[in-house]
Amino acid sequence: MKKTIYTLAICLLFICVNLTDCFAQEKFFHAIGTPHQPKVEVSWNRYNTYDGLVDIMKKITKAHPELARMESVGKSFEGRDIWALIISDYKSGNPDRKPGMYIDGNIHSNEIQGAEFALYAAWYLTEMYSEIDFIKELLTDKTFYILPTINPDARENFMKEPNSPHSPRSGMIVLDNDGDGEAGEDRFDDLNADNNITMMIRKSPDGRFVKDQQNPKILKRVAAEEKGEYEMLGFEGIDRDGDGRVNEDGIGYYDPNRDWAWNWQPDYVQRGAYKYPFSLPENRAVADFVMKHPNIAGAQTYHNNGGMILRGPGAEEDIDLYNRNDVRIYDAIAGKGEEMIPGYRYLVVYKDLYSVFGGELDWFYGARGIFTFSNELMTSYLYFHSKESRGQNEEFKVDKYLTFGDAFVDWQEYEHPQFGTIEIGGFKKNFGRLHPGFLLEEDAHRNMAFTVYHAYHTPKLSVMDVQEEKLGSGLKEITATIYNERLMPTHSSQDIKNKIERPDYVSISGTKVIVGMIVENEDFNVVKEQKNNPQKVAIENIPGMGTVKVRWIVSDNKNYRITVDSAKGGLADWEK
């Protein structure tokens, strides 16, 4: 007995020591809404190269094999894989049979934070699955197809090669942009070798600018009657073809967001268009992937900048694409987005910005019937929470008080072979359009939350009610009510109009079916009979937050099963 008590005491002491040790090792206090001890440690205050993105994606799939898988959707122009993370609870069913949410980023080379925002969503969903019931239910019901960068070559070029904040927009195909018969002869010249293409200025008796006495980084235009000291020469570079211009033949000016096969126009109508729709391999790969996944019901693309939640149409010609029912859904989701992301505004592209032909946003909705938003990330509101943007003056203020000079390359003299003694300086390429590190994670989280809200409102179907009525002579009437619990219908108006996706099917099995029909008005017993294959009734659409009723006349009293099969709405069943 004493030996037993002694052994028990030793065990208790051992447990207490180890518990104390565990508590002693815990050095963090849980912040609400954030993974407490993530399996994949990621710093969301910096930008990742292509290899860095792929490394994080691999770590996510390794840490969460039951929730995440990687798939290459195709190759870029230079042969890089365009990777997708497919996030879902794989134990709860085939991810391709659940309503899908597509997310991509970084279609333009200088809009790199789209990749971080998309990847943040994948990381957050997988890390919080075991901590938050809402996320667990979401991944049980839905699938996320996340492609952090769909233009990996251009991402690498922007990061690793000399560029300005605004260039290049395109990929890696070299074009003759100045029409002189040679392509690529005026690539960007990084004269001071700092990996940024900044501005050139020169002292001149005809100059209209002076340096600000309080802050010599700032060039101020003088009044009409005043004498200036400096003239602006534009972005740094050398005129290599002798036409008086620098940097006009960099990586080809084409715009991957003018390459999509919806209302595409050639370059002389829509500047930036390439040869023909889907002439860029990256876009073709993405389109093929989407076509192979008819379950994708919602989509989000991340661009920059301006703080905007955009929907189509891109051109006024397509205004009739969006009927009242679809616009109501767009308005409801985007209206919530304006609450969730301070400083962002909900806008319609053609009406509030400019015309876009051949845009990704329009292809997703127009050609595939997918409810799609494009968020223009980063807004100056995030700096000082002021709705009044002050342009360059505000940027200098940010650099002075928030980034302490890190955003600007100070003016320095340089002997230019054509312009003589000049000065080179200006804002770095990773400032202005891109978030500074301290703003990156918060905006990524808020945009992710908006996208999750969008995904939540993709269809969710259930067999809400089943009623039976005996008709005599061994016949029975069975009426099933199918309920869509979310805002989005199983078919958008564009989908219905052009019959993009197959109908939804409501089937009954385990009993002999005599007649199958759709109940159009139950109060007045108005029905529409389906004479062929009556056990499998085809439904054109199951509206958001609405129901449809299906009725069968059967000839026996056996147990039976009712199943719902919708490409964008997923599967549901009921069994007697």
CB of 109 closer than 8 Å to CB of 170? yes
Do 368 and 476 lie in a common domain? Answer: no
- Does residue 391 come out as left (phi exceeding 0), alpha (psi in the -120 to 50 range) or beta? left
Within a 10 A sphere around the Cβ of 493, how many other Cβ atoms? Answer: 19
- pLDDT digits (tens), the chain, 576 positions: 555 555 555 555 555 455 445 445 678 899 999 999 999 999 999 999 999 999 999 999 999 999 999 999 999 999 999 999 999 999 999 999 999 999 999 999 999 999 999 999 999 999 999 999 999 999 999 999 999 999 999 999 999 999 999 877 776 676 666 666 665 555 688 999 999 999 999 999 999 999 999 999 999 999 999 999 999 999 999 887 777 778 765 556 789 999 999 999 998 999 889 999 999 999 999 999 999 999 999 999 999 999 999 999 999 999 998 999 999 999 999 999 999 999 999 999 999 999 999 999 999 999 999 999 999 999 999 999 988 766 778 999 999 999 999 999 999 999 999 999 999 999 999 999 999 999 999 999 999 999 999 999 999 999 999 999 999 999 999 999 999 999 999 999 999 999 999 999 999 999 999 999 999 999 999 999 999 999 999 999 999 999 999 999 999 878 999 999 999 999 999 999
Do 145 and 271 lie in a common domain? Answer: yes
Here the CATH number for the domain that contains residue 473 is: 2.60.40.10
The overall pTM is greater than 0.95: no
- Cβ neighbors of 239 (< 8 A, separation 6 or more) are 186, 245, 246, 418
Out of 381, 398, 420, pick the residue that ends a domain.
381
Whether 305 is in a domain gets the answer: yes
Do 372 and 266 lie in a common domain? Answer: yes
Q: Whose structure tokens read 């949410």?
A: 101
Q: Does residue 421 sit in helix, strand or coil?
A: strand
Domain count, the chain: 2
Do 120 and 261 lie in a common domain? Answer: yes
Do 367 and 496 lie in a common domain? Answer: no
Whether 29 is in a domain gets the answer: no
Whether 541 is in a domain gets the answer: yes
How many angstroms separate the CA atoms of 389 and 72, rounded? 41
Whether 338 is in a domain gets the answer: yes
Instruction: Measure the N-to-C terminal CA separation of the chain; round to a whole number of Å.
Output: 59
Do 356 and 268 lie in a common domain? Answer: yes
How many angstroms separate the CA atoms of 408 and 50, rounded? 25
How many angstroms separate the CA atoms of 111 and 376, rounded? 9
Q: Whose structure tokens read 């078919």?
A: 491
Whether 424 is in a domain gets the answer: no
How many angstroms separate the CA atoms of 236 and 201, rounded? 9
Do 266 and 371 lie in a common domain? Answer: yes
Do 277 and 140 lie in a common domain? Answer: yes
Whether 431 is in a domain gets the answer: no
Out of 353, 381, 409, pick the residue that ends a domain.
381
Do 373 and 466 lie in a common domain? Answer: no
Output the DSSP codes for 341-402: STT-EEEEIIIII---SS-HHHIIIIIT--EEEEEEE--THHHHS-SS--THHHHHHHHHHT
CB of 131 closer than 8 Å to CB of 394? no
Instruction: Show the domain range for 303.
Output: 50-157+257-381
How many angstroms separate the CA atoms of 253 and 310, rounded? 24
Whether 500 is in a domain gets the answer: yes
Strand order in the sheet with 209-211: 219-221, 209-211, 230-235, 199-203, 420-427, 408-416
Identify the CA nearest to 256 among candidates 278, 240, 236, 237. 278
Burial class (CB in 10 A: 0-12, 13-18, 19+), 181: exposed
Q: Whose structure tokens read 């994080």?
A: 56
Distance of CA 381 to the CA centre of its chain: 21
Do 361 and 501 lie in a common domain? Answer: no
Residue 448's H or E segment, with its range, is helix 437-456
**Which amino acid is located at 398 in the chain?**
V
Angle between helices 437-456 and 133-141 (to 10 degrees): 60
CB of 155 closer than 8 Å to CB of 83? no
Whether 280 is in a domain gets the answer: yes
How many angstroms separate the CA atoms of 302 and 207, rounded? 41
Do 488 and 363 lie in a common domain? Answer: no
Identify the CA nearest to 73 among candidates 281, 250, 232. 281
Do 374 and 472 lie in a common domain? Answer: no
Within a 10 A sphere around the Cβ of 218, how many other Cβ atoms? Answer: 16
Here the CATH number for the domain that contains residue 105 is: 3.40.630.10
Out of 359, 381, 403, pick the residue that ends a domain.
381
